């Protein structure tokens, strides 16, 4: 019996993976939420938080900041409010120090989350959850994620080479679908086929992999434990792609090479595989704290985004339950992450886009180039209509406003506060009809800029009055408090309001 077949003996015990067992020992003692700790213990914890170089709580009243983080619900989530690239990874990285688990529920390597460790070293993550820099945190890749194994192993190797231990700290759902190299090739062929109507995908194979999943010929992580039937399943998948795309060349040699490659991958992946649905629910029943990290954002949601210029999963609140196998009733606080302006990558509607030199200046000031692809992002003013739409769908309890510092050089800042048709008819919400979107006229509200560097601000009161007014006007228009304000890329560049 080979390694893969013998390892299948543990399949019926979903919690028997080496990674899960080591983490059970590590997390045996439950963390005490700051909000439920005694006054004396809270004072000690707040003092520790204030001096921690990795968390860098920067509000002048550190006890308020610590209490806010500690009072987050047992199961909380961080989701994007725009078209992605809002800076979710940084907030997840900071909050992860107060959670036992950080879990990805959807998407794949098309997500690019940039985070920095306490020494300022940059890490670009794509599949591994952003809690990985916190050594006591378990990172879960849920069943709703599509997993490209070469990319995952490359990411793990890079983390290990930079001193970040991944052993026993990452679990991959046995229900997650495998994304193969050919899915990426098909992604490019599909975009070429669409010509001028192309979606503008990352060409990471995400859409084709989800397509395989939905038409029910996909291959899941658990299939790696059955290498006797794996070749037949892969042959069916490759043959289907070859029949669909003339430019896709498939033959017996490709199948042999892929099967041999995945035999090796299967052996390496085995220690990471777990029934994460069972794992997540056991953690929840034990009152462990779980933080869900969304990939992409609500305006790219397959149902609620600017279809068809969207991703292939549900990066809104509903995707959390289906992507991790947890019940809606356990979800608590959801934090929406929104840039102080708006960006999007690829094609599709963008009502508040700034064309020409203005957009270029914002792009370079904010270094708006894709983490995953390096593509320049389209830039525009903050779209309040789209933001309110996202907030309605997700039910956010608070917001994280990021990259406020990027606006510092502007003499005036505009907010897109409402939509109207050419005849003056108001449009109350973000429309599904792309033709209607093309006709919209955005009404802007102009606010004064502050024209001073705010990157060294370490409390809300340190911000110029004009910057405070901008933050508070967004709160007024959206009706949701902004509790976190990003004024730079580092961990310390976060103001708690």
Instruction: Tell me whether residue 201 is annotated as binding.
Output: no
Instruction: Tell me whether residue 400 is annotated as binding.
Output: no
Instruction: Tell me whether residue 343 is annotated as binding.
Output: no
Instruction: Tell me whether residue 84 is annotated as binding.
Output: yes
Indicate the DSSP class of residue 322.
H
Whether 85 is catalytic? yes
Instruction: Tell me whether residue 395 is annotated as binding.
Output: no
Confirm if 74 and 329 have CB atoms less than 8 A apart: no
Instruction: Tell me whether residue 402 is annotated as binding.
Output: no
d(CA 109, CA 204): 7
Q: Which of 59, 85, 174, 492 is catalytic?
A: 85
Instruction: Tell me whether residue 61 is annotated as binding.
Output: no
Instruction: Tell me whether residue 70 is annotated as binding.
Output: no
Both tokens of 9, joined, read: 């003996």
Instruction: Tell me whether residue 126 is annotated as binding.
Output: no
Instruction: Tell me whether residue 137 is annotated as binding.
Output: no
Whether 136 is catalytic? no
d(CA 316, CA 82): 11
Q: Could you tell me how many residues make up the chain?
A: 497
Confirm if 220 and 176 have CB atoms less than 8 A apart: yes
Q: How far is CA 406 from CA 343, 366, 409, 449, 471, in A?
A: 13, 5, 8, 11, 14
d(CA 282, CA 288): 9
Please report the DSSP string for 143-184 in residue order: TTBEE-HHHHHHHHHHHHHTT---TTTEEEETTSEE--HHHH
Q: Which of 98, 177, 213, 289 is catalytic?
A: 213
Whether 213 is catalytic? yes
- Find the angle CA(350)-CA(406)-CA(373) to the nearest 5 degrees: 55
Instruction: Tell me whether residue 377 is annotated as binding.
Output: yes
d(CA 174, CA 225): 10
Hey, is 445 helix, strand or coil?
strand
Instruction: Tell me whether residue 370 is annotated as binding.
Output: no
Confirm if 354 and 49 have CB atoms less than 8 A apart: no
How is the chain split among helix, strand and coil, in percent rounded to 5?
A: 40, 20, 40
In 3D space, the residue among 97, 148, 153, 107 whose CA is nearest the CA of residue 271 turns out to be: 153
Confirm if 484 and 495 have CB atoms less than 8 A apart: yes
Instruction: Tell me whether residue 488 is annotated as binding.
Output: yes
Instruction: Tell me whether residue 98 is annotated as binding.
Output: no
Instruction: Tell me whether residue 375 is annotated as binding.
Output: yes
Q: How far is CA 225 from CA 10, 171, 233, 238, 247, in A?
A: 10, 16, 13, 20, 32
Indicate the DSSP class of residue 275.
-
Instruction: Tell me whether residue 425 is annotated as binding.
Output: no
Q: Measured on CA atoms in the order 249, 251, 254, 259, is the torsion positive or negative?
A: positive
Q: Which of 113, 148, 288, 388 is catalytic?
A: 113
Instruction: Tell me whether residue 371 is annotated as binding.
Output: yes
Instruction: Tell me whether residue 88 is annotated as binding.
Output: yes
In 3D space, the residue among 294, 333, 300, 269 whose CA is nearest the CA of residue 481 turns out to be: 333
Instruction: Tell me whether residue 404 is annotated as binding.
Output: yes
> Which of left, alpha, beta for 26 (phi over 0: left; psi -120 to 50: alpha)?
alpha
Q: Measured on CA atoms in the order 149, 154, 160, 163, is the torsion positive or negative?
A: negative
Instruction: Tell me whether residue 415 is annotated as binding.
Output: no
The number of helix segments (H) and strand segments (E) in the chain equals 16, 20
Instruction: Tell me whether residue 162 is annotated as binding.
Output: no
In 3D space, the residue among 353, 158, 183 whose CA is nearest the CA of residue 258 turns out to be: 183
- Annotation: binding site for Mg(2+): 85, 112
- Annotation: binding site: 84-90, 110-114, 202, 216, 296, 311, 371-377, 403-405, 486-488
- Annotation: binding site for IMP: 85-88, 110-113, 202, 216, 296, 311, 375
Give the residue numbers marked as catalytic.
85, 113, 213
């Amino acid at each position: 019996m080979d390694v893969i077949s013998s390892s299948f003996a543990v399949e019926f015990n979903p919690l028997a993976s080496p990674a899960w067992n080591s983490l059970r020992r590590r997390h045996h003692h439950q963390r005490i939420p700051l909000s439920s700790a005694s006054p004396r213990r809270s004072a000690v914890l707040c003092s520790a938080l204030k001096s921690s170089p990795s968390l860098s709580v920067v509000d002048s009243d550190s006890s308020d900041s610590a209490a806010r983080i500690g009072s987050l619900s047992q199961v909380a989530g961080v989701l994007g409010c725009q078209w992605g690239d809002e800076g979710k990874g940084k907030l997840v990285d900071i909050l992860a120090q107060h959670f036992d688990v950080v879990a990805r529920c959807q998407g794949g390597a098309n997500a690019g989350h940039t985070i920095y460790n306490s020494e300022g070293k940059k890490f670009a993550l794509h599949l591994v959850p952003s809690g990985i820099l916190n050594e006591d945190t378990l990172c879960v890749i849920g069943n709703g994620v599509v997993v490209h194994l070469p990319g995952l192993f490359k990411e793990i190797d890079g983390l290990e080479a930079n001193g970040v231990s991944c052993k026993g700290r990452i679990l991959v759902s046995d229900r997650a679908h495998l994304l193969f190299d050919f899915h990426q090739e098909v992604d490019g062929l599909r975009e070429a086929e669409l010509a001028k109507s192309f979606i503008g995908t990352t060409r990471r194979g995400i859409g084709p992999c989800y397509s395989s999943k939905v038409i029910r010929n996909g291959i899941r992580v658990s299939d790696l434990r059955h290498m006797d039937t794996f070749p037949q399943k892969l042959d069916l998948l490759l043959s289907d792609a070859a029949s669909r795309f003339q430019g896709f060349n498939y033959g017996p040699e490709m199948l042999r090479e892929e099967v041999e490659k995945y035999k090796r991958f299967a052996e390496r992946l085995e220690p990471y595989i777990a029934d994460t649905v069972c794992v997540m629910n056991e953690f929840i029943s034990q009152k462990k704290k779980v933080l869900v990290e969304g990939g992409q954002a609500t305006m790219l949601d397959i149902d609620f985004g600017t279809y068809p210029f969207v991703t292939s999963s549900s990066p809104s609140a509903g995707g959390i339950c289906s992507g991790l196998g947890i019940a809606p009733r356990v979800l608590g606080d959801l934090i929406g992450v929104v840039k102080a302006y708006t960006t999007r990558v690829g094609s599709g509607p963008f009502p508040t886009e700034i064309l020409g030199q203005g957009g270029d200046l914002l792009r370079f000031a904010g270094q708006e180039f894709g983490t995953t692809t390096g593509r320049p992002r389209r830039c525009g003013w903050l779209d309040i209509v789209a933001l309110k739409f996202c907030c309605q769908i997700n039910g956010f309890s608070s917001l994280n406003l990021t990259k406020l510092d990027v606006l510092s050089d502007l003499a005036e800042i505009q907010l897109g506060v409402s939509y109207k048709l050419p005849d003056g008819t108001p449009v109350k919400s973000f429309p599904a009809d792309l033709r209607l979107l093309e006709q919209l006229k955005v009404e802007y509200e102009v606010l004064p800029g502050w024209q001073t560097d705010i990157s060294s601000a370490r409390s809300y009161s340190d911000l110029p009055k004009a910057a405070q007014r901008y933050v508070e006007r967004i709160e007024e228009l959206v009706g949701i408090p902004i509790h976190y304000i990003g004024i730079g890329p580092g961990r310390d560049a976060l103001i708690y309001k």
